[in-house]
Amino acid sequence: MAMAAKANTVLVILALAVAVAAARPAAAGAFRRVYAFGDSFTDTGNTRSTTGPYSFGYVSSPPYGATFFHRSTNRYSDGRLVVDFLAEELSLPSFLPPYLSSSSSGNSSSSNHDVVGVNFAVAGSTAIEHDFFARNNLSFDITPQSIMTQLAWFDAHLRRAKANKINVADALFWVGEIGANDYAYTVVARDTIPPKLVRDMAVQRVTTFVQNNWLDLGLTWMNNGTLMLDLGYKNVTLQGLLERGAKYLIVQGLPLTGCLPLAMTLARPEDRDNVSCVASVNRQSYAHNRRLLAGLHQLRQRHPGAVIAYADYYAAHLAVMRSPSKYGFAEPFRTCCGSGGGAYNFDLFATCGSPEVTTACAQPAKYVNWDGVHMTEAMYKVVAGMFFQGGDDYCRPAFSDLLAMKAKGKP
């Protein structure tokens, strides 16, 4: 009897395992290549200390990379990013090499051979082109590359890799969060460049990047010192990812930028929301994401032959901030690699990797934030789990559905 009961138990467990495996399409082998774009949340090495954004120009120094790589790989974290966990989820043979490095730090393949894809993301990158900031005297120490620069790099890469006969339609395109820098760079000019204008321009650039035409936003100075936005189509001068044959895309929204120690330190103490973060900044990110969602909805209607998923970073981040202990975090607000002590342990003039900050906290996995702006590997791992195993709560359509469609050669 005991033997029979034990055998039945084993059979039930095996049946459940088979059912679970059948319910979730295998990610391994679904995509052989991934092309990534974005800013420092996605950059795996295109930026170094000498080219990094102001106050975060020490990414090549320890303790960056200490948790996983045990050295700096020019990632703005102590280890892997969401895009790295994506590579692992897909069982790619290596992480994505950065475009500007033929043999990237922490990556084993060459971008010239395009074995697993390429990462074009750049720390400090903007959605709006650099010329806009220069014209408005906001170009001091701003990364000159925008998302359209990354698109030009992608074109150059495809030209060089033409002999490899890369099938763009068979690749996964990851458009990481981008736009937060646009708001940060214009915060000192809100009287003349309001957040709504930045939001309209930034989201338009992202959807143009994804789609197939370039909308030139004409900006005209008015007598009252404000800018008038002129939405007018001009001749197509840049072609987007869909025009280049991309069929499977995941576009990531902005996180709770008001929960970053940098924002918490600079904002007025009374400007707080129900998760104790900067209310005005989180409202800005929320509005940005709603506008982005509307743009993606339009793209889906215009391109029914493509799968365009939305990775809801805002919702994922919010879930963690509401119940940090549920996800293993004891420090939702304090910076792991920072200085100054206090509630946030963040000093804009003594940031991670600088001569003043050469060590990090003892347990990075207990911290949400790494250096005041960027997340710890532990947080990126949690967010990646939400995106890739969380059904359609945090990725819509669900990542598993995207894999199923890819397996069937649909939509």
Q: How confident is the model at residue 106 (pLDDT cuts 50, 70, 90)?
A: very low
- DSSP letters, 67-96, are TTTSS--S-SSSS--HHHHHHHHTT-SSPP
CA distance 249 to 176: 11
pLDDT of residue 134: 77
Catalytic residue among 130, 157, 317, 374: 374
User: Maximum distance among all alpha carbons in the chain?
Assistant: 91
Active site residue 317: no
pLDDT of residue 326: 98
Q: Give residue limits of the domains in the chain.
A: 34-103+110-215+236-323+375-408
pLDDT of residue 102: 55
Closest CA to 338 of 362, 365, 356, 320: 356
Q: Which residues contact 195 (CB under 8 A, 6 or more apart)?
A: 183, 186, 284, 287
pLDDT tens digits, 299-323: 999 899 999 999 999 999 999 999 9
CA dihedral 369, 370, 371, 373 (to 10 degrees): -40
Catalytic residue among 40, 55, 109, 125: 40
Specify whether the CB–CB gap between 290 and 254 falls below 8 A: no
Active site residue 130: no
CA distance 248 to 260: 31
Specify whether the CB–CB gap between 231 and 220 falls below 8 A: no
Active site residue 374: yes
Q: Which two tokens stand for residue 89?
A: 């989820």
Q: Is the pLDDT of residue 237 over 70?
A: no
Domain 34-103+110-215+236-323+375-408 annotated CATH 3.30.1330.60: no
Whole-model pTM: value is 0.84
Q: Which of 28-37, 44-53, 313-322 has the highest mean pLDDT?
A: 313-322
Cα 21 to Cα 2, 14, 17, 24: the distances in Å are: 29, 11, 6, 5
Angle (nearest 5°) at CA 385 between 383 and 387: 70
Supply the mean pLDDT for the chain. 83
Catalytic residue among 78, 146, 371, 400: 371
